[in-house]
Chains A and B, each alone.
Chain A
Amino acid sequence: MSVFAYAFEEARASLVRGGRGALMSVGTIAIAFLALGGFLMVTTNLQRYVQQWMESAELSVFLRDDIGEQEREVVRARLADDAAVLRVDYLTKDAALERFRSDFPELADVSSSIGGNPFPASFEVRLRPGAGVADNAAALSRAVMPLDGVADVQFDRQWLERVLSLIAGVRMAGLAVTVVLLLGAAFTVTAVVRLSLHERRDELDIMQLVGAPMAFIRGPFVVEGLLLGGMGALLALLMLGAGVATLRTWLGREAAGLLGGQSIAFLGASDLLLLTTAGLAVGAVAGLVASRAAR
């Protein structure tokens, strides 16, 4: 029988014997990975939605009422020729008023009572989606603002960039919390594996006396840690999955509306793989550390 098969068989038997200790170990690992997975999922979702908003960014170039035909064409040409621009639509004063009345029917009377049309004509500029859209918008604003007939340029997506930085900060904080939790989980695994090592002290002495290779002596403890870590990570992922499914059902269409027509996304395949591997690795390292006592 190979050392791997032997180590797995012994580790499995030890986990069954370990009972409550093993469950506690799996539980602490699951908590750590629940935190890590949760942070990853929340930040990934936020990032996705912010990114989506940013990618659909629009720039509004408001024109003065006294702008001439030629000046307006200059502005249009400047906008249309810019590589960052996907599309340019001209919105007349009347069209702007009409849109206001249609978007805010309850305020339609207000616009009538003011007298005249207070809304300026504008160019609505859709920017090419992708990274750096905010930088492109800022550059375009600076270029268009000094042109004759331009009253104002509005690009209110800068705050989204700040949200993205905030998300990055949250993610870092989440990682820091997770590292602490993982260390705690690793210590628990080490303690549980040490306990099982202590229980098998006589057996280990005999193994040493018969000249068993160290891989046979330590292997089961490393595998025990590996299994504890893997089970903890899997448990966390199952809990996260169940949590997401519940949230989706709970929030339903309202959430979809809030989140731009999209549902809450679960972790991607690479994140799932990363978390499972990390669980196995943390457990194996903890098992290896504990197994050093088997000398």
Chain B
Amino acid sequence: MIETQNLGKAYGPGFYALRNLTLTIEKGEFVFLTGASGAGKTTLFKLLLLQERPTEGDVVVAGRNLARLAPRDVQAYRRTVGFVFQDFKLIPTKTVFDNVSFALRVLGVPVDQQRRRTYQVLKWVGLQHRLQSYPPELSGGEQQRVAIARALVNDPQLVLADEPTGNLDPELSIEIMKLFREINTAGTTVLVATHNPELIRFVGKRSIHLEHGRLDQGEGPL
């Protein structure tokens, strides 16, 4: 699903956030990305979401080489990827329902399908009773579940989660990880960045460790 070859990202001469990164994540795999702050986890996510372009090497996702993807194809690519961030990235002026259906609405999905699918995913994350609430009215765990529902609403092939439990207490973090595990069980590839070893142990999946923008050779299942 994800294959990088000598991938590098420099923010100026000699300022590498990622360097010579070569890794493979298979389709349907659940992988943790670990490393200290500044190790390059967020940079890799930005490259995978095409918020930035690599300065060296290649990154191929589901057969698309993102390093060479034409600007006009960027949005179409992003529709195949779901994302979850530590700060939830919800629109505070829209209801829970609208925050999730928004992802379908901007893709031109018919209204009845939008409603059906949105309700389905919100029910799946256990928020069917908060449809008309606004994000500021929700707890952190609930907000993150809304973000997960939005990430899943258009059936992505790949879900990227950057420190999704960074703002949550341990109990809620476990709940969120359970959701990711379920998503993965349904066949979606999941890549979660975290530096919480408890969560990695709880899920029990492979982890990739980054250090100073490079792959730590200790990569492997915990």
Chain A interfacial positions (CB closer than 8 Å to B): 1-3, 6, 202-203, 205-214, 216
Contact = CB atoms under 8 A, between A and B. Distances in A.
A207 B83 contact: no
B89 interface: yes
Contacts of A211: 75-81, 107
B91 A210 contact: no
22 contacts: A1-B111, A6-B106, A202-B89, A203-B91, A206-B89, A206-B91, A207-B102, A207-B106, A208-B78, A209-B78, A210-B78, A211-B75, A211-B76, A211-B78, A211-B80, A211-B107, A212-B75, A212-B106, A213-B75, A213-B106, A213-B107, A213-B108
B66 to A, nearest CB: 14
A207 B81 CA distance: 13
Contacts of A1: 105, 108, 111
A263 B111 CA distance: 55
A210 B108 contact: no
Contact of B108 (A2, A206, A208): A2
Closest A-B pairs by Cβ, 9 of them? A211-B79, A211-B78, A212-B106, A210-B103, A216-B106, A211-B75, A203-B91, A206-B89, A209-B83
A216 B105 CA distance: 10
| Chain A facing B: main interface SS | helix
Interface string B181-193: 0000000000000
Contacts of B76: 211
Given A1-B111, A206-B91, 8 more contacts: A1-B108, A203-B91, A207-B106, A209-B78, A211-B75, A211-B80, A212-B107, A213-B106
B111 A210 contact: no
A205 B89 contact: yes
A3 B79 contact: no
B150 interface: yes
Interface in B96-130: 102-103, 105-108, 111
Nearest to B75: A211
Nearest to B111: A1
B177 interface: no
Given A1-B111, A6-B106, A209-B49, A214 B89 contact: no
B222 to A, nearest CB: 30
Contacts of B77: 211
Contacts of A206: 89, 91, 102
A2 B89 CA distance: 25
Nearest to B90: A206
Contacts of B80: 211
Contacts of B81: 211
Interface centre among B76, B78, B83, B154 (most CB of A within 10 A): B78
Nearest to B72: A214
Contacts of A6: 105-106
Contacts of A207: 102, 106
A281 B77 CA distance: 33
Contacts of B83: 209
Nearest to A214: B75
Contacts of A214: 75
A52 to B, nearest CB: 57
Contacts of A209: 49, 51, 78, 83, 89
A210 B89 CA distance: 11
Nearest to B109: A1
